[in-house]
Amino acid sequence: MKALVRSLWWKLTVANVAVTLVGSLLAVIAFGPLLDARGFRDVVRPAHLQTLIEGERALLGGRLGDPGLASGLLEAMAQRLVDVDGPQGLYGIAYSSEPRVSIAVYGDDGRAVARINAERLPLPATWLRSPQRLEAVSDAERLLVLPLQPEGMLVVRHHAEFSVWKNLQSTLRDTGAYLWWLVLMVSIPGSVFGVGLSLWLARRLRHMAAVSDAWAQGDFGTRMDDRRPDELGTHALALNTMAARLRDHLKTGQDLATLQERQRLARELHDSVKQQVFATGLQLHAAQQWLQRDPARTEEALQRAQAVNASVQGDLAELLSRLKPADAAQPLGTLLQRALLPWAGQIETRVEAPDDLVVAGDTGRELSRIVAEAAANAVRHAGARQLGVQVAVQATELVLRVSDDGRGFDPALAREGMGLASMRERAALLPSGRFDLHSGAGGTTLVVRTQLQTTEGTT
């Protein structure tokens, strides 16, 4: 039976394949270079080259202090640009040319952080920051000048010229490599082989699908064990690379989220608990001073300390539970007065705000923290006796103004501490938030402006 199958396979295949292969070769030789030249022009467009390296370009931003990482990313980009694939991934320029790529990344001082120079395609040792440029210098060369964020420049020189002769050589080489596949596909026994091939491919695809499902569940340790030198094997390798990068990106994102959370907690502890504990100490010190001379004032100071302590407990409970603040739906004036409570008795305060102004929870939280920090600075550093807080609504903008009558300072000469930096950060977190500070002999005034976002049902 096997001999009969082999005999039929040869008799039917030789007759069909001879005509098919000859006709295919003639068609490829006649029309292949014309079609490939059009595809070549599409895939070497500067805009398309830019899209291929956007991932590494984004990773370079903010990481120019690590030359090793920068060099690794440049090598990855250079390798990708040496054999550029088309938009559908069906055409590589190395099929029809001898690509060369020079690539460099420069710091804000203009000096090269890392550089890869191809033969006869040098890049300078310095490159000052300039606008983005995507241009075809000639039919064979493209230049990409891409600014990095927040600093630095990425410059790419890409040289690849379409060669008809190389294109024909590649075509003939590929045709010879896949000759037996073509023979099988045009023969009757090829149908039987196709069934087996389909089952084989289906098994590989099922494996790839199972691994993809594992990745979807967050298990990036699973890998596609497919090292066959075909399209699926290459695709599996590319997917494994992608999974490794995703795992690294997730870890980077988790590390960044952890750092941001630590910074947020540090800011919250500094702006709330630390300041209120300091205020509690002031009240207890005052109580100690009046203990023998004026029991009534002693009791008043102790009550204030107890109120501040209750506020500290509330802030700690909020930090631990990560819930929204309970006062998020209260009028802004009430929130600001509560923020000034720890400093009652230490400084005379005045809050002027529209009675019916209820802002979004996050906005009220950040503004009250800014006011509390301003009061702490006025008591601890400025020796102020009065602190005024004014809230005004101007069209779609909310303006918060905090002024004290303490001894001012020169913002240009003073070293900015954590308190002032925290206020600036909180203002930046507000919608379209802006922070301005003015200080002199007559006291200090800070102004915070933000887009007005009231809660639903308020104006």
pLDDT digits (tens, 9 = 90+) for 87-101: 554 467 887 888 999
Range 413-434 average pLDDT? 84
Q: Is residue 18 situated within a structural domain? A: yes
Range with the largest mean pLDDT of 157-171, 185-199, 254-268: 157-171
What is the Cα–Cα distance from 6 to 315, expressed in whole angstroms?
84
Q: What is the CATH number of the domain that holds 416?
A: 3.30.565.10
Instruction: Enter the tokens of residue 62.
Output: 């903010």
Q: What percent of the chain has pLDDT over 70?
A: 65
Identity of residue 91: Y
Q: Is residue 171 situated within a structural domain? A: yes
How many domains does the chain fold into? 2
What is the Cα–Cα distance from 333 to 302, expressed in whole angstroms?
25
Range 19-45 average pLDDT? 71
| pLDDT exceeds cutoff 90 at 205 | no
Question: Which of 152, 187, 222 is at the close of a domain?
Answer: 187
| pLDDT exceeds cutoff 50 at 181 | yes
Give the model's pLDDT for residue 29: 66
Q: Is residue 227 situated within a structural domain? A: no
Q: Is residue 307 situated within a structural domain? A: no
| pLDDT exceeds cutoff 70 at 20 | no
State how beta strands 153-159 and 133-136 pair. unpaired
Residue identified by tokens 């996050």 is 362
Question: Pick the residue with more confidence: 169 or 110?
Answer: 110
| pLDDT exceeds cutoff 90 at 21 | no
b/e map of 191-219 (b: 16 or more CB within 10 Å)? Answer: eeeeeeeeeeeeebeeebeebeeebeeee
Q: Please, what is the average pLDDT of the chain?
A: 77
Alpha-carbon distances of 435 from 41, 98, 341, 448, rounded to whole Å? 51, 56, 24, 5
Domain that holds residue 82: 2-187
Q: Is residue 7 situated within a structural domain? A: yes
Question: Which of 140, 160, 187 is at the close of a domain?
Answer: 187
Give the model's pLDDT for residue 457: 44
Range with the largest mean pLDDT of 108-112, 155-159, 221-225, 338-342: 155-159
Range with the largest mean pLDDT of 23-27, 377-381, 414-418, 427-431: 427-431
What is the Cα–Cα distance from 275 to 29, expressed in whole angstroms?
81
Give the model's pLDDT for residue 252: 75
| pLDDT exceeds cutoff 50 at 323 | no
Q: Is residue 141 situated within a structural domain? A: yes
Q: Is residue 333 situated within a structural domain? A: yes
Question: Pick the residue with more confidence: 260 or 240?
Answer: 240
Q: What is the pTM of this model?
A: 0.36
Least confident of 183-187, 372-376, 385-389, 402-406: 183-187
Give the model's pLDDT for residue 6: 42
Question: Which of 165, 187, 209 is at the close of a domain?
Answer: 187
| Cβ-Cβ contacts under 8 Å for 49 (sequence gap 6 or more) | 81, 84, 142, 144, 156, 158
| pLDDT exceeds cutoff 90 at 282 | no
